[in-house]
Amino acid sequence: MKMTQKPTQETPSQNINLISNGTRISGDIHAEGDIRIDGYVKGNIKSKGRLVIGAAGSIEGDILCTNIEVSGNFKGKISASELLTLKSTAVVAGDIIATRLAVEPGSIFTGTCQMGPVEKTAEEPRKS
């Protein structure tokens, strides 16, 4: 009797990438799925999924994701094509481009904010 197994395919939303507390990364991150950062990243992050910056997380660089939730520290340019949520413990310094923005009392934001549909130029870096 021959048994065949169908290969399982994960959808991008099922892929979760975790950078835990105590981990430091220098470099760019490109992911198809979700990312949670509780450590430190110095570099750019691009994902088709959701990015969560935990309360202990810290990022310096540019972010381009569909949905972003910030509870920790961020410095740079942040672009959310759908929803950006700043939790009460968030500290953000830089530029925000978001279709929708939710800000909890207690969060700290220093910089500029552009609301509305994210333009293609903000979604994809230009190639020369």
Say if residues 29 and 35 touch (Cβ distance below 8 Å): yes
* Listed range (1-5, 14-18, 51-55, 89-93) with the worst mean pLDDT: 1-5
Q: What is the pLDDT of residues 30-85, one digit of tens each?
A: 999 999 999 999 999 999 999 999 999 999 999 999 999 999 999 999 999 999 99
DSSP code for 120: H
pLDDT at 92 over 70: yes
Say if residues 77 and 97 touch (Cβ distance below 8 Å): yes
For residue 116, what pLDDT is reported? 82
In terms of Cα–Cα distance, which of 25, 109, 37, 106 is closest to 68? 37
Instruction: Using DSSP, state whether 77 is helix, strand or coil.
Output: strand
Per-residue pLDDT band for 2 (boundaries 50, 70, 90) equals: low
Say if residues 49 and 33 touch (Cβ distance below 8 Å): yes
The length of the chain is: 128
For residue 126, what pLDDT is reported? 41
For residue 81, what pLDDT is reported? 94
Two tokens, residue 77: 């340019």
In terms of Cα–Cα distance, which of 75, 87, 13 is closest to 42? 75
